[in-house]
Amino acid sequence: MTELIRDSLDHCVKCTICESFCPYSRATPLFPGPKYVGPQGERYRRAGASPDISVDYCSGCGICTQVCPQGVKIAEINTRARARLWEERGIPLRNQLIARPSVLGRLGTPVAPLANWTLRNRLLRRLGERLLGVHRDAPFPRFAGRTFQRWARKHVSPAADRSVVYFHACGTNYYEPAVGRMTVEVLEHNGFHVEIPPQDCCGLPLQSNGNFPAARAYVRRLAASLAPYARDGHAIVSNSTSCGLMLKREAHEILDVEDEDLTAVSEATYDLCEFLLLLHERGELRTDFGPLALTVPYHAPCQQQGHGIGKPALDLLALIPELRVIELDADCCGIAGTYGLKKEKYEISMAVGERLFGLVREAHPDLAVCDSETCRWQIEHGSSVRAVHPVELLHRAYGLDAA
Amino acid sequence: MNYDAVVIGAGLAGLTAALRLAEEGQRVLVVAKGVGATHLAPATIDVLGYDNGPVESPERALPEFAAANSAHPYRRLSVELIRASLDWFVARLGDHGYRGGLEENLLLPTAVGVPKPTALVPAAMAAGDLRTGGRFVFVGFLGLKDFYPAYLAENLARAPLPGGASVAARAVELAPPLGGEGDVSSVGFARRFEQPEFRESVVRELKGRLMPGEIVGFPAVLGLEHTREVMQELETGLGHPVFEVPTLPPSVQGLRLYETMTTALRRAGARLVVGSPVAGAETSGKRLEGVVAETAGRPLAYRAKAFVLATGGFASGGLELGSSLTVRETVFDLPLTGVPEAKDARFATGYFDDHAISRAGVAVDEKLRPVDGEGRVVYENLHVAGATLAGAVPWREASGNGLSLSTGYAAASAILESPS
On chain B, the residues whose CB falls within 8 A of the CB of A306 are 275, 296
- Of residues B283 and A45, which shows the higher confidence score? B283
Cα(A109)–Cα(A121) distance, rounded to whole angstroms? 18
CB atoms within 10 A of CB B263: 12
Determine the Cα angle at B334 with ends B333 and B336, to 5°.
115
Residues in chain B, how many? 420
Helical (H) or strand (E) element with B85:
helix B79-92
- pLDDT number for residue A52: 85
* Per-residue CA distances from A213 to A219, B116, B201 (Å): 10, 57, 51
Residue A5 has pLDDT above 80, yes or no: yes
Residue B420 has pLDDT above 70, yes or no: no
- Of residues B353 and B245, which shows the higher confidence score? B245
Scanning B83-102 for CB atoms below 8 A from A yields none
Q: Which residues pair with A326 in a beta bridge?
A: A297
Amino acid in position B350: G
Residue A47 has pLDDT above 80, yes or no: no
Buried b (16+ CB within 10 A) or exposed e, B225-252: eebbebbebbeebbebbbbbbbbbbbbb
Strand, helix or coil at B61? helix
Residue B239 has pLDDT above 70, yes or no: yes
Cα(B92)–Cα(B264) distance, rounded to whole angstroms? 8
Q: Are strands B327-329 and B319-321 parallel, antiparallel or unpaired?
A: antiparallel
Of the ranges A140-154, B176-190, B223-237, which one carries the lowest mean pLDDT score? B176-190
Percent of chain B residues past pLDDT 90, beyond the cut: 85
- pLDDT number for residue B194: 95
**Nearest CA of chain A to the CA of B250: how many Å?**
6
- pLDDT number for residue A365: 80
Determine the distance from the C-alpha atom of residue A355 to the mean position of all C-alpha atoms in its chain, rounded to a whole number.
20
Are B31 and B302 within 8 A, CB to CB? yes
Are A151 and A178 within 8 A, CB to CB? no
Backbone angles phi, psi at A228, to 5 degrees: -55, -35
Torsion of CA B75, B80, B86, B88, to 10 degrees: -130
End-to-end CA distance of chain B: 19
pLDDT single digits (tens) A60-70: 999 999 999 99
CB atoms within 10 A of CB B407: 33
- Rg, C-alpha atoms of chain B: 22
On chain A, the residues whose CB falls within 8 A of the CB of B35 are 17, 21, 67-69
Q: Do A310 and B277 touch (CB under 8 A)?
A: no
Listed as own residue / partner, the contacts of A285-291 with beta carbons closer than 8 Å and 24 or more positions apart are: A285/A190, A285/A319, A286/A189, A286/A190, A286/A191, A286/A398, A287/A319, A288/A398, A289/A319, A289/A320, A289/A321, A289/A394, A289/A397, A289/A398, A290/A321, A290/A397, A290/A398, A290/A399, A291/A320, A291/A321, A291/A322, A291/A323, A291/A397
Strand, helix or coil at B278? strand
Determine the Cα angle at A381 with ends A376 and A386, to 5°.
55
The confidence band for A322, taking pLDDT boundaries of 50, 70 and 90, is very high
Nearest to B34 by CA among A311, A68, A14, A22: A68
Q: What residue in B sits closest to A282 (Cα-Cα)?
A: B1
On chain A, the residues whose CB falls within 8 A of the CB of B40 are 15, 17
List, as one string, the DSSP characters of B240-260: S-EEEE--SSS-HHHHHHHHH
The confidence band for B38, taking pLDDT boundaries of 50, 70 and 90, is very high
Q: What residue in B sits closest to A264 (Cα-Cα)?
A: B297
On chain A, the residues whose CB falls within 8 A of the CB of B179 are 29
Mean per-residue pLDDT of chain A: 94
Determine the Cα angle at B106 with ends B105 and B112, to 5°.
120
Out of A32, A69, A270, the one facing B316 most closely (by C-beta) is A69
Q: Which residues pair with B108 in a beta bridge?
A: B116
Q: What residue in B sits closest to A29 (Cα-Cα)?
A: B181
A160 in the Ramachandran plot: left (φ > 0), alpha (ψ -120 to 50) or beta? beta
- pLDDT number for residue A38: 87
Residue A356's contacts (CB-CB under 8 Å, 6 or more residues apart) are: A299, A328, A330, A331, A332, A333, A334, A379, A382, A383
The confidence band for A49, taking pLDDT boundaries of 50, 70 and 90, is confident
Reduced to 3 DSSP states, what percent helix, strand and coil does chain B have, rounded to the nearest 5? Answer: 35, 25, 45
Are B279 and B293 within 8 A, CB to CB? yes
Average pLDDT over residues B279-308: 96
Residue A48 has pLDDT above 80, yes or no: no
- pLDDT number for residue B165: 83
On chain B, the residues whose CB falls within 8 A of the CB of A262 are none
Mean per-residue pLDDT of chain B: 94
B274 touches chain A (CB under 8 A): yes
Of the ranges A326-330, B107-111, B377-381, which one carries the lowest mean pLDDT score? A326-330
* ipTM value > 0.90: yes
Determine the Cα angle at A246 with ends A245 and A248, to 5°.
60
pLDDT single digits (tens) B61-114: 999 999 999 999 999 999 999 999 999 999 999 999 999 999 999 999 999 999
A30 touches chain B (CB under 8 A): no
List, as one string, the DSSP characters of B161-173: -GGG--EEEEEEE
Residue A2 has pLDDT above 70, yes or no: no
Cα(A304)–Cα(A273) distance, rounded to whole angstroms? 10
Average pLDDT over residues A247-273: 96
A288 touches chain B (CB under 8 A): no
Residue B222 has pLDDT above 70, yes or no: yes
B317 touches chain A (CB under 8 A): yes
Residue A41 has pLDDT above 90, yes or no: no
Q: What residue in B sits closest to A250 (Cα-Cα)?
A: B296
Cα(A60)–Cα(A83) distance, rounded to whole angstroms? 12
- pLDDT number for residue A6: 80
CB atoms within 10 A of CB B63: 12
pLDDT single digits (tens) A266-302: 999 999 999 999 999 999 999 999 999 999 999 999 9
Strand, helix or coil at A223? helix
Q: What does the DSSP 8-state code read for residue B361?
A: B
**Nearest CA of chain A to the CA of B10: how many Å?**
10
Q: Which residues pair with A296 in a beta bridge?
A: A325
Return the sign of the alpha-carbon dihedral for residues B376, B378, B379, B383.
Answer: negative
- pLDDT number for residue A44: 82
Out of A67, A307, A314, the one facing B295 most closely (by C-beta) is A307
Nearest to B218 by CA among B255, B248, B244: B244
Nearest to A247 by CA among A267, A276, A225, A274: A267
The CB-side HSE value for B420 (13 A sphere, CA atoms) comes to 9
- pLDDT number for residue B84: 98
Residue A75 has pLDDT above 90, yes or no: yes
